[in-house]
Amino acid sequence: MSSILLRPSCPAEDDPEIRRLLELTAAATGAGFVELDLEAPSGATCRYRHGRPVAGVSSHTLDLRHHRATLRLDGDTRLPVPLADLLAFTLDRILQGMRTSAQLSVLLAGMETSTSGVLLFDRDAEVVYANPRAQALLDQPTEGGADGEPAGRGLPTVLERVAAMARQVLDGRSPERARTSLLVLSSSSVLGCEVVRIGGEAGVSGVAAAGLLQPLTTLPALFLEAFCARHGVTHREQEVIGLLLEGCGTTDIATRLSISEYTVRDHLKSLYRKTGTRSRSELVSVASTVRKEPAAGLDRS
């Protein structure tokens, strides 16, 4: 089933391209009157005219891809088959262009208001479109080198990192159609990035790539999650660590988590064993160090 955006429709009655086509038809055939009836698959119809109506007309059916089209000329005017085929081809192109333009306008409007960064690359990995959210992110420096490339003296920008991923998915030697990565900004924010190759299938001309940038979380929280995952810390135990870092005591933790103080102490004992610490202060110190020293908490590769 065709989506609403792709559903064929009829141009407005004063559409300049249809008007120009009727004028050219009149000039090519010598007709003083040309009338075109279009019917979309939905049943919507529209009539277009050039010249003054006459009593006698000849009707000609044009073979279009989606619409039904009937062309009427002055009664004595002939429409050679090659000209009819050319008119059908041109009319199909006009209608397809109208659909594509309408779809593009709606898609661009949606991307302009998206809270995610959206990028489009040509086959040479050059940016051909970036929505406002992406534009605000492209010049921000990131930590680490661009994927697959050595790090330079300065910090690579988001644009350099994403463009490197686009080059990889657009490389004809690579079977991968998509790449994903976490981009850690120098501001301690984290972006989830996905670049997908588009086009290249049967019936689709050209190859390009689309990129999506999605803010995920702050860096300290991500490092703490990595620390807990590495030590086999459960979700509840991670909540206990988080509250410890906020300065909560045993009673406060029990109240916040709706558990008993005995259960809090059991979680602490488990955390000491898993993290190799021996006291609450040592556990807080280790967790705080992880949050302040990214290299200890997350593999940036």
Say which DSSP state 157 is in.
Answer: B
pLDDT for 252 beyond 60: yes
Q: What are the pLDDT digits (tens) for 84-114?
A: 999 999 999 999 998 888 888 888 888 888 8
Residue pair 225/299 in contact by the 8 Å Cβ criterion:
no
Q: Which of the pair, 234 or 7, is modelled with greater confidence? A: 234
Q: What is the CA radius of gyration of the chain?
A: 32
| Structural tokens at position 169 | 């998915």
Distance in angstroms between the alpha carbons of the first and the last residue of the chain: 44
Q: Tell me which residue of 20, 37, 36 sits closest to 28, measured CA to CA.
A: 20
Report the percentage of the chain scoring pLDDT > 70.
Answer: 83
Rounded CA-CA distance 131/210 in Å is: 12
Range name among 8-22, 111-125, 135-149, 178-192 with the lowest pLDDT average: 135-149
Give just the sign of the alpha carbon dihedral 52, 57, 60, 66: positive
Q: What are the pLDDT digits (tens) for 17-38?
A: 999 999 999 999 989 999 999 9
Residue in the structure block whose two tokens are 């040309």: 34
User: What's the pLDDT band for 293 if we cut at 50, 70, 90?
Assistant: very low
Residue 144 is predicted with a pLDDT of: 60
pLDDT for 238 beyond 60: yes
Q: What are the pLDDT digits (tens) for 143-177?
A: 765 444 444 456 789 999 999 999 988 887 767 78
3-state helix, strand and coil shares in percent for the chain, rounded to the nearest 5 = 45, 25, 35
Range name among 125-134, 138-147, 170-179 with the lowest pLDDT average: 138-147
Residue 263 is predicted with a pLDDT of: 94
- Across the chain, what does the average pLDDT equal? 82
Going from the C-alpha of 269 to that of each of 130, 225, 228, 264, the distances in angstroms are 51, 19, 15, 9
Residue 131 is predicted with a pLDDT of: 92
pLDDT for 288 beyond 90: no
pLDDT for 187 beyond 50: yes
In the chain the domains, ranked by start, together with CATH numbers, are 16-111 (no CATH), 115-218 (3.30.450.20), 231-297 (1.10.10.10)
Residue 26 is predicted with a pLDDT of: 93
Mean pLDDT of 267-273: 93
CA 132 to chain centre: 13
Residue 283 is predicted with a pLDDT of: 85
Going from the C-alpha of 37 to that of each of 46, 68, 73, 89, the distances in angstroms are 6, 8, 12, 16
User: What's the pLDDT band for 219 if we cut at 50, 70, 90?
Assistant: low
